[in-house]
Structure 1
Amino acid sequence: MFNKILVPSDGSKLAHGAAEFAADLAKHHGAQVVGLYVIDPFPYIGIGDASAAGLQAYMAEAQAAADRALNDIRQCCEARGVTFAGDTIERNVTYEGILETADAEGCDLIVMGSHGRKGVQALILGSVAQKVLTHAKVPVLIVKP
């Protein structure tokens, strides 16, 4: 039923749970898992050498976080004998990057974790999962804590 499953990750325990669930599902369906990490762009102000050094330090740390998150998904897939591909992108709006990647990669399912925030906390903090659910053109499976 599913051929390619997108698993966005922020490197959290919730994302790990979603990766395990997606890898199990992929094994059952003979599907491939595409891991995704979205980097927020550096808030570059363009003044002086400090900005360039700050950009380099920020991007190095962001790429290291992406590598850790994608390696976690890779390990979940390898443990189950599931094909894995990883991608890191830079976007201002995380959910848009997830949806763009799902479309570009031809994914037919998105599996992601959610913090399950409610009420005012959800309104103030927003929810990437909620926005993906609202705007996705493919099914979205939310793995709760």
Structure 2
Amino acid sequence: MFKKILVPVDGSRLSHAAGEFAADLARQHGAQVIGVYVIDPFPYIGIGDASAVGLQAYLAEAKAAATQALEDLRQACAQRGVPFAGDTIERNVVYEGILETCDTEGCDLIVMASHGRKGVQALILGSVAQKVLTHAKVPVLVVKPAAT
């Protein structure tokens, strides 16, 4: 039924759980997993050498986190014998980067984690999962955090 499953990752424990779920689902359907890590652009544009150093440090750390998160997903897929491809992209709006990747890669399902924020925290931080659910043209499977 599914051929390409997009899995947005952020390096969190919840993202890892969603990746494992997606890899299991991909194995059952004979599908490929496409991983994506969306880097927010450097949040400050300043003048002088300090901003250039800050930008380089920010990008180096963000790319290292992306590499680790995608490697984690790659290993989950490899353990299950599932084909995997991953990419790191930079976008101003994370959910738009996820949806753009879905369209570009021809994915027919998005599997992602929800951090389960509630109340004021959800209102202030927003929800990437909610925005993906609202705007996606393909089915979205949201992996919720386990009850504690």
Other-structure match for 1:109 = 109
Other-structure match for 1:14 = 14
Q: What CA distance in whole angstroms lies between the structure 2 residues aligned with 1:135 and 1:113?
A: 16
TM-score, with length taken from structure 2: 0.95
Other-structure match for 1:128 = 128
TM-score, with length taken from structure 1: 0.97
- How many residues in Structure 1 have an aligned counterpart in Structure 2? 145
Which sections of structure 1, spanning at least 5 residues, go unmatched?
Answer: none
Tell me how far 1:118 sits from its aligned partner. 2.2
Q: What CA distance in whole angstroms lies between the structure 2 residues aligned with 1:135 and 1:72?
A: 27
Tell me how far 1:44 sits from its aligned partner. 4.0
Q: What CA distance in whole angstroms lies between the structure 1 residues aligned with 2:94 and 2:8?
A: 10
Tell me how far 1:46 sits from its aligned partner. 4.0
Is the counterpart of residue 55 in structure 1 residue 55 in structure 2? yes
Other-structure match for 2:118 = 118
Other-structure match for 2:71 = 71
**AA partner of residue 9 (structure 2):** S
**AA partner of residue 26 (structure 1):** A
Which sections of structure 2, spanning at least 5 residues, go unmatched?
Answer: none
Other-structure match for 1:100 = 100
Q: What CA distance in whole angstroms lies between the structure 2 residues aligned with 1:57 and 1:122?
A: 29
**Identical aligned residues as a percent:** 82
Q: What CA distance in whole angstroms lies between the structure 2 residues aligned with 1:44 and 1:18?
A: 31
Local SS of the residue matching 1:51: helix
Tell me how far 1:61 sits from its aligned partner. 0.5
Local SS of the residue matching 2:89: strand
Other-structure match for 2:4 = 4
Q: What CA distance in whole angstroms lies between the structure 2 residues aligned with 1:122 and 1:58?
A: 25
